[in-house]
Structure 1
Amino acid sequence: MIIDSLENSKLYEALHPGFQKAFRFIREFHQNEKEDGRYEIDGNDVYALVQSYTTLPSDQCKWESHDKYIDIQYIVRGKEIIGYAPRNTLVSSTGYNAEKDITFYENQAGTDIRLTDGMYAILYPWDGHKPKCIYDEASNIKKIVVKVKL
Structure 2
Amino acid sequence: MIRHDLTQWPLVLSVARGGASPEEHLAFLSDWTSWLDRDEPFATLRVFADVDALKRPEGSAKEAKAWLQSNAARIKRLVIGMATVVPTQALEEMSRMNAEKLFGVPAQMFDDVNEATMWLASLSAKQGRSLNMAPVLRSLAALSGAP
In the superposition, the TM-score normalised over structure 2's length comes to 0.27
In the superposition, the TM-score normalised over structure 1's length comes to 0.27
Give the structure with the higher percent strand. Answer: 1
- Bigger RCO of structures 1 and 2 (CA < 8 A, at least 6 apart): 1
